[in-house]
Amino acid sequence: MTHQREECERDTAGKLNNEIANWADSQQYRAEQMPQEIKDDRLPRVTLLNATPDPLGSLAALCAIYSGRVVRELSEVTDAEREQALRDMSATALSGPLEAIQFHFLIEGVDRSFTHQAVRGRNAFYAQESMRFAVVDNEEWEDRSTLPPTVAGTVPGSEYVKNSSPYEDMSQEQRLRGLWDQAMSNAQRSYNDMISAGMPAEEARGTMPHSVMTRYHWVCSLRELLHVAGLRTCTQAQFHWRLVMAEIARTLRNYPCKQEESLRRWDQWQFEKIADLIRPVCYQNGRCGFMAKFDRSCNIRERVEERAMNGATDTNQWSKPFVYDKIIYDDKPGSPRIECKTSPAINDWEWAADPAAARK
């Protein structure tokens, strides 16, 4: 590990450049840098390392036992049976069969706030990059941190001051970006100074901002994936979750089926069907799942419940206006009477693309 103990310098611009000069713990090592495209886009990246090769075939074989049929080879299962098994799962309260389908994801470019929430899941396995030993000193924390939606699209604070107008002429978003970048730089300087002074990284990491990017492995079943997606793609969850779940869906759609030539190359449609299930709990169940007093507001909840109360159970039709008859009870002549009502369409972008969708 001698290559990790080289002397560190500060460049002429005052930026940190391999600042750590002293390593108090022989188990410490330099964290692998985040891929440049993650730092450029400030968006998470998901890699599907492995998955059940014939996911819906496995599901159909398992479900067949409920009707007395024993499947000993997945080649016995037809594509029609694969699709039917997936439809059956949306029509039953049983969710155990979904555990026949397993995934192994590598998720990068998420922050420590995100992973604190992610690893609470009880029916999955996680292996996270350890900040006890992985020292993040070989890249700027301004670059290796997630950006809050409030300052998305702004330029780095130092670049704005150097190349643009004075501080007092900045927009509110740009002022916030300047304060954000300054906080990242100050925190990194303190962290590096403490480690250089002889403090182990596992102690100095207490000064790390929650926004520093990290990575972790997530091994889960389809049952757990859909449970997490239902809760975390909802507007109740922090916006970063919607970015990650969108990336998981994209990865599933593009997953290469790596089979030996002697085996059937399972059609990509299976993974596309599974990707279509990555959606909020209201889309999964046909009604809002967050109606308690302590739940946050939601910009589509009223329309979701309007549909649920009037039998509009096909969530694939939510993108269209919903017309229904409503019985009106009042003191007017002819009461009760029936009036034709129209509920506006529910567009995906309303909840998926709006970080403030749950804020009043």
169 in a structural domain: yes
Same domain, residue pair 66 and 195 = no
Residues 71 and 193 in one domain: no
Give backbone dihedrals phi and psi of 110, rounded to 5 degrees, phi first.
Answer: -100, 155
In a domain, 334, yes or no: yes
Same-domain status, 144 and 199: yes
Tell me, what's the pLDDT at 113?
93
Do 136 and 207 reside in the same domain of the chain? yes
Residues of the chain with pLDDT under 70: 1-22, 158-168, 256-266
- Domain match, 19 and 67 both: no
Q: What is the pLDDT at residue 12?
A: 36
| Residues 326 and 181 grouped into a single domain | no
Contacts of 174 (CB under 8 A, 6+ apart): 151, 154, 155, 157, 160
What gap in Å lies between CA 78 and CA 296, rounded to an integer? 44
Last residue of a domain, one of 211, 232, 263: 211
Is the full-model pTM beyond 0.75?
yes
245 inside domain = yes
Same domain, 18 and 86: no
Does some domain include residue 289?
no
Same domain, 13 and 70: no
Q: Are residues 207 and 329 in the same domain?
A: no
Residue after which a domain boundary falls, among 248, 279, 310: 279
Classify residue 162 by burial, with Cβ atoms within 10 Å: 0-12, 13-18, 19+.
exposed
Q: What share of the chain is helix, strand, coil (3-state, %, to 5)?
A: 40, 15, 45
State whether residue 111 is helix, strand or coil.
strand
Distances (CA, A) of 154 to 67, 159, 164, 181, 346: 58, 10, 12, 11, 30
Q: Which residue has the tokens 């399972």?
A: 266
Task: State residue 327's pLDDT score.
Answer: 85
* Residues 81, 338: Cα–Cα separation, whole Å: 43
The pLDDT of residue 261 is 44
**Number of domains within the chain:** 3
- What is each CA distance from 104 to 51, 225, 336, in whole angstroms? 6, 11, 57
Q: Give me the pLDDT at residue 152, please.
A: 86
Q: What local confidence, expressed as pLDDT, does residue 166 receive?
A: 54
pLDDT at 2: 37
Q: Report pLDDT digits (tens) over 163-201.
A: 555 556 778 888 899 999 999 999 999 999 999 899 999
Q: Are residues 90 and 225 in the same domain?
A: yes
Instruction: Kindly state whether residues 252 and 226 are assigned to the same domain.
Output: yes
- Position 163 scores a pLDDT of 52
Taking the C-alpha atoms of residue 360 and residue 348, their distance in angstroms, rounded to an integer, is 19
35 within a domain of the structure (yes/no): no
**Does a structural domain hold residue 258?**
yes
CB 109 within 8 A of CB 45: yes
Kindly state whether residue 15 falls inside one of the protein's structural domains. Answer: yes
- Residue 165 in any domain: the answer is yes
The length of the chain, given as a count of residues = 360
Tokens coding 343: 């509920």
Shared domain for 89 and 227, answered yes or no, is yes
pLDDT confidence of residue 75: 92
Output the pLDDT for position 328.
82
How confident is the model at residue 332, as a pLDDT?
77
Contact 154, 173 (CB under 8 A): yes
Domain of residue 83 covers 48-107+215-279
